[in-house]
Structure 1
Amino acid sequence: MDRLGHYTVKSAHSLIQKREITEVAEEVSVYWKRLWKLSIPPKVKSFLWQASTNCLPTKCNLQLKGISVNDLCPFCNSCRESTSHVLFSCSFSQVCWNLLGVQIDPDDLGVFADRFAKLLDSIHADNLLHIPMLCWALWKSRNELIWNQKGAEASEIVTLARITLEQWKNAQDRSFDLSLGFAQISDGAANWQPPSPGSLLEAKASCVGGLVEPVFSEALGIREALSWIKTKDWHNVEVESDSLVSIQAIRSSTVFLSYFGKIVQECRQLLLDLICHEVSIKFVKRSANAVAISDRIVFGSAIPPDMNCVLLNDLLV
C-alpha cells in the first residue's frame, strides 16, 4: 500500500506538471498569434520578435556573449541596460510613455514579453498599435544615440512612432481617397514644370546655421515659403517640396508634440490664412527640385546662368 500510495502521488504530481506545461505553451501560442496579427510595419514585428525572445543586442546581452562593454543604459546612465529596462523602466522611456498617455510600472521586474502582453491587455483599442510603435521608436533612438551620438527629445520619439504608423497604414489602405490626404494626384512629379503663364516672378533661398534633422529643416523651408507668399499677397501659388514626410504631416490632422510639430502647425495655419489666395503644397521628387538655389534672391528675368541651365533642361525633358 505504501508503494502504491507513493506511486499514485508521483503520478498526480506528473499530471499537474504536464498540465502546467500545456497551459504555458498555450499562453505562448496566443502571445505570438496576437503579435503577428498586429497591423504594424513588418520591421516592427521583427523587432518585437527579437525583444520578446531577448535577442536584442542590449548591453546586458552583449556582456553575456563575452563582449566587454559598459552595461549602463544610454538613456539614463544609471541602470543596467536590459530589454525590459530600456523600453519600459528607464526614466527617459517613462517620459515617452507618459507623453503617449500610457502608464508603465517602473518597478515591474518582469521580462519584456510579459510586460508587453500586459500592456496589450490593458490598453484601449484606439491606442493599442502605438504600444509596439513606441517600443520600436525607443530602440531606434537608442541606436542613434549609441552609434551616431544623436540624442532626441521624448516628444520627437513619440512623434516618430505616430507618424511612422500613420504613413504605413495609409500606404496599405487601397481605398484611401487620394484627394483627401497624403498623396494627391498632382504629387510625385519627376521634373519641374513652369507655373502658368510660365514666367518666373521671384525666387529666394537662404542658409541658416544649426544642426537639425532634414525633415525639420524642410518644414522650416515650407513655412518660410508660405510666409513669403502671404507677405507678397500672391494668388494661385504652388509650394513644392521633396520632403514627403513634411508634406504628409502638414496635410494630416495629427498633433505632433515636438518642435517639428510646432512648425507643422504654423504651416497649417498659414495655409488657412491663404485659403482665398488658392495656395497649395505639393510633393515632388528630388529630381524635380534641382532648381534649389542658395542664399540669394532672383527677380523676374534676372535668372542666374546655372539656374537657367537647370530650368531649360527640365523644360526639354
Structure 2
Amino acid sequence: MFLAKFYRSHYRNQRTRTFKSGGANRQEFFGKLWNLQLPSKITIIIWRISWNCIPTLGNLRHRRIATNASWPRDYGEENCHHIFRQCPISTEVWQLLNLSLITNIMHQNFLEWLPIVFKQGTNEQCRYFCYTLWLLWYSRNQLLHERVHSTGKDLAQQVQNHMAEHEWIRAKKILSNTVHNQIIGEDLPIMKIQFDVAFDRRDFRSASGLVVWGTTNEYLASKSILHSNIASPFAAKAYAGLEAIKLGIKMGFQEIQILGDSLTVIKKCQSTATDYSVIGAIIRDIQSKKSSFQKIEFKHILKTKNMRAHNIAKEALQRSERAYIEHEETIQHNMGAAAQWARNPD
C-alpha cells in the first residue's frame, strides 16, 4: 500500500511541475511514444520514467521509504539522471550503440531530455532509445535485487538483440493485421479504456473504475476515482465516462475507444447535439475533450464484459480509497522487493 501511495503522490507532484515547464513537447512525446508500437511493459516504463515516478533509491529516500540513496555501481546518488546518463555503464552503452542524437544533448535537464530526443529522432532511433532505457532499468533491478552484474558491452548487445526480435514480431503483426482487416473490413486496433461505477445511495458517494487496454488487448493500467455528492447512478456513469477521457489525455493517447455498459450515456457521448438532460453539463464536458484526440469512439458493451472496471470501482468505494496501478504483476514484484529497497546495498 505504501508503494501505491508513493506512485500516486510522486506522480502528481512531477506532473504538476513538468506540465508547467514541458508544454507541447511533452504532448508530442506521449503521442509518439504510444505510436511506436513497443511492448506494453516497455511503453509503461518509459511513461513512468518521463514523470520520474519510478522507485529509484533517491525517490524512495525522498518519500522516507529508504535511508540510503547511494547507487551501488559507483556510489553516486541514484536518480534518473544518474542511472540513465551519468553512470559509467550507461555512458558506455550509449557510446557502443553509436546514437549521437542522444549523447549530443546530455546537457539537457533529464525530464526535458526525453521529449527532445523524441522530437529530433526518427521512429527507429526512438525505439532504440526506449529499449535502452528499459534495459538499463532492468539491469539496475537485477544488480540491486539479484546481485547480477552486466557490462556496458553486454547491455548494448542485448539492446540490439531485443530490437531485432521486436522488428521481426512487429513486421509479422502488421502483416497479420493487414490481412485480418482486409477480410473483415475493420479499423486497425486502438487503445481502449473501459469504465464503470459503484454507487452508495446512503450518502450519494460513487467511485469510478477504469481499465486501460493496449492495441493488442494487453492490460496496461487501472485507476479508481472517488466522487461525492452524486445525484444518481446515472450521473455517476457519466462522471466515469469523463474520467476515462481524462485518463486517455493524461496518457497521451492519440486514438482511443471508450467502452461502457450504460447505453444511454454512450449514445449521449456519441452525439454532437447539445444535451439538456440532468447530465447535460457532464456530457458537454466530455464532448469538449474529443478534440484532444485524432480519433475517439464510444462503444457500448455488456455488463458481463465490464466486470473488471466494476470490481475496481466497488473496491474503491468500500475502502474509500482511490488508486492507480500499472501492470499488476510488476507492482506485485516491486512490493515484494520493497524491503530490499529500504535496506542499504550490501
What TM-score bracket applies, with the shorter chain setting the length? Answer: 0.3 to 0.5
Higher strand share: 2
TM-score by length of 1: 0.44
Bigger relative contact order (CA 8 A; separation at least 6): 2
* TM-score, normalised relative to structure 2: 0.41
